[in-house]
Amino acid sequence: MRLIVPLQGVVQGRGGLIFGSLIPCALFYFLQLYLKRHRSPKPQSNPPSPTTSSPKLAEMTRTSSRSNLFSRSIGQVRISSRAISIAKPNESPYYIGLDKASEDPYDRLSNPDGVIQLGLSENRLCFDLIEKWMSENLGHSITGRDSGELNINGIATYQPFDGTMELKLAMAGFMSHIMGGAVTFEPSQMVLTAGATPAIETLCFCLADQGNAFLVPTPYYPGFDRDVKFRTGVELIPVHCRSTDNFALSITALDQAFNQTRKHGTKIRGILLSNPANPVGNLLSREMLYAILDFAQEKNIHVISDEIFAGSMYGNEEFVSMAEVLDSEGFDKNRVHIVYGLSKDLSLPGFRVGVIYSFNENVLAAARKLTRFSSVSAPTQRLLVSMLSDARFIEEYVKTNKKRLQNMHALFVAGLKGLNIRCADSSAGLYCWADMSKLISSYSEKGELELWDKLLNVGKINVTPGSACHCIEPGWFRCCFTTLAEEDIPVVLERIRKAVENTTDLLNSS
């Protein structure tokens, strides 16, 4: 009552004019302020990717100056909002563990108390084969001339940024071979990048705008958070898979996630799959591939199939590439893109060789331009052309690699079984997906991380906890076994046993 009368007095008459003009102006001003604040992309709340706290940078001698002290804090604020979140030390156990293991690496002879690295999916099983090849085929590895004459002109100068045709040809042959010869890859549909990491990022830049999203089945490779989200501003929407069906993907779950995301106003541009899956190691069946393609077609979205572990099979199941399915049915090929690389199957992660394989000319055209930022180093290309073109070597390598993988996998999984830790069914990859839920104190992420911490700091083994892979069920851990020698397995098992000594379940054999 007491408010209304003065208001009425103000609003009517001259005051009304003032208010009538002031209020819209004020509203407009606040609208501008609001828009301005929300103009730039929100800084990411989860600092994604790579390794954590880098070693403290050596202090440079600083000139003591007033302006220095004063503006240092301002200087920090004025880097990009992207950089602010990325520069923070990474809190993900995936990266913390990697750091710890690399600072104090286990060595059977020189550092038997070091941290055993089971968190990095690297394959050290077949280096002897590659070294043997090198020693028998030297001279033209770096230069490409059989005559023994060195000609650096061919490798030092500018090369096609998306890779030389020779390497693409060699790569096409290699990919075809490891996928059982069921697919032929066309070199002209290939774009080579400096590793699979930029391959994924490049595809995201091509297929999605800032604020769009990709559906990704969980659990997934922790690096996707960096590759997809870091600089592109594209989101990842998890599609949860469960242990009850061995973490198999279901179209129902995909559909649900798609609809929910759409309701929230975010546009889904595609599905990101890894097949063989990382971290579980299972394969997508042919039927499932059809179903995914149908789904993608219906929703008019892309499919990115990361097949980087295709040549690391140890099981008896048959690997079916997305490319193979496309060949056989009348699907719209323009929405399918395959990512590959030599880091896993050929154990050359340091060389930085990745592949984008697409059927979409426009994507290829754009990707080619983008490889300007991440090309394969020329000497490396030259070396690999030689290696990958050696059909006899590749055949022997793939066969031997599979045998050794099978062996290590069997030993490791059996060893874990002896500790009453079962693993998910898997046919490929350099790791197994172990269920340690019985060993955690509380069935939660907190309990899982406590166990992870115990394993790392007490047991001195670095494994990747499921939460880092966005697994919805706590207690699962990815253990990579291809960095080990056979003799190391009992050591690992013993350390696990020691780390969980107080957990009664471990001692009860069932």
Q: How far is the CB of 362 from other proteins (least distance, A)?
A: 6
Question: Which segments of 179-283 are extended strands (E)?
Answer: 190-193, 213-218, 235-240, 268-274
Instruction: Give yes or no for residue 205 binding other proteins (CB under 8 A).
Output: yes
Q: How far is the CB of 242 from other proteins (least distance, A)?
A: 31
Query: Exactly one of 21, 71, 457, 504 binds other proteins (CB under 8 A); which one?
Result: 71
Q: How far is CA 299 from the centre of its chain?
A: 25
List the interface residues with other proteins, window 337-356 (CB under 8 A): 343, 347-352
Structure tokens at 8: 């009425």
Instruction: Give yes or no for residue 80 binding other proteins (CB under 8 A).
Output: yes
List the interface residues with other proteins, window 84-113 (CB under 8 A): 84, 86-87, 102
Instruction: Give yes or no for residue 312 binding other proteins (CB under 8 A).
Output: no
Where does this chain touch other proteins (CB under 8 A) — which range of 62-70, 411-419, 441-449, 460-468?
62-70
Q: How far is the CB of 433 from other proteins (least distance, A)?
A: 23
Instruction: Give yes or no for residue 39 binding other proteins (CB under 8 A).
Output: yes
**Identity at 44, one-letter amino acid code:** Q
Query: Exactly one of 11, 18, 26, 365 binds other proteins (CB under 8 A); which one?
Result: 365
- Spell out a b/e string for 435-458, using b for 16 or more CB atoms within 10 Å of the CB, else e: bbbbbbeeeebebbbebbbbbbee
Instruction: Give yes or no for residue 187 binding other proteins (CB under 8 A).
Output: no
The residues carrying an active-site annotation are: 221, 306, 308, 344
60-65: long-range contacts, CB 8 A cutoff, minimum separation 24:
none
Nearer to other proteins, 249 or 363 (CB): 363
Instruction: Give yes or no for residue 34 binding other proteins (CB under 8 A).
Output: no
Binding mask 396-425 for other proteins (x = CB under 8 A): ------------------------------
Instruction: Give yes or no for residue 135 binding other proteins (CB under 8 A).
Output: yes
| Residue 253 · residue 241 · CB < 8 Å | yes
Nearer to other proteins, 260 or 362 (CB): 362
Q: Of 207, 216, 478, give the one whose Cα is nearest residue 336.
A: 207
In degrees, rounded to 5, the angle at the alpha carbon of residue 278 between the alpha carbons of residues 277 and 283 is: 15
CA–CA distances in Å: residue 101 to residues 104, 106, 435, 454: 5, 8, 22, 14
Q: How far is the CB of 199 from other proteins (least distance, A)?
A: 10
Sequence-separated (6 or more) residues with CB below 8 Å from residue 54: 89
Q: How far is the CB of 241 from other proteins (least distance, A)?
A: 27
Query: Exactly one of 45, 58, 244, 487 binds other proteins (CB under 8 A); which one?
Result: 58
CA distance 501 to 347: 35
Query: Exactly one of 103, 104, 131, 494 binds other proteins (CB under 8 A); which one?
Result: 131
Instruction: Give yes or no for residue 31 binding other proteins (CB under 8 A).
Output: no
Instruction: Give yes or no for residue 195 binding other proteins (CB under 8 A).
Output: yes
Structure tokens at 214: 């990709």
Nearer to other proteins, 209 or 395 (CB): 209
Q: How far is the CB of 100 from other proteins (least distance, A)?
A: 14
Is cis: bond before 276, omega within 30 of 0? Answer: yes
Can you list the alpha helix ranges (DSSP code H) found in 123-278? Answer: 127-136, 153-156, 165-178, 196-207, 223-224, 251-263
Q: Of 66, 473, 443, 133, give the one whose Cα is nearest residue 280.
A: 473
CA distance 500 to 421: 12
Cβ count near 120 (within 10 Å): 18
Instruction: Give yes or no for residue 320 binding other proteins (CB under 8 A).
Output: no
Where does this chain touch other proteins (CB under 8 A) — which range of 25-33, 204-212, 311-319, 401-409?
204-212
List the interface residues with other proteins, window 252-281 (CB under 8 A): 269
Query: Exactly one of 155, 303, 339, 456 binds other proteins (CB under 8 A); which one?
Result: 155
Structure tokens at 80: 């990009």
Where does this chain touch other proteins (CB under 8 A) — which range of 70-78, 108-116, 175-183, 455-463?
70-78
Cβ count near 252 (within 10 Å): 9
Instruction: Give yes or no for residue 151 binding other proteins (CB under 8 A).
Output: yes
Where does this chain touch other proteins (CB under 8 A) — which range of 166-174, 316-324, 365-373, 434-442?
365-373
N residues, the chain: 510
Structure tokens at 97: 């563990």
Q: How far is the CB of 80 from other proteins (least distance, A)?
A: 5
Q: Of 255, 180, 173, give the one whose Cα is nearest residue 215.
A: 255
Instruction: Give yes or no for residue 60 binding other proteins (CB under 8 A).
Output: yes
Instruction: Give yes or no for residue 305 binding other proteins (CB under 8 A).
Output: no
Scanning the structure block, which residue is given the tokens 């199939």?
A: 305
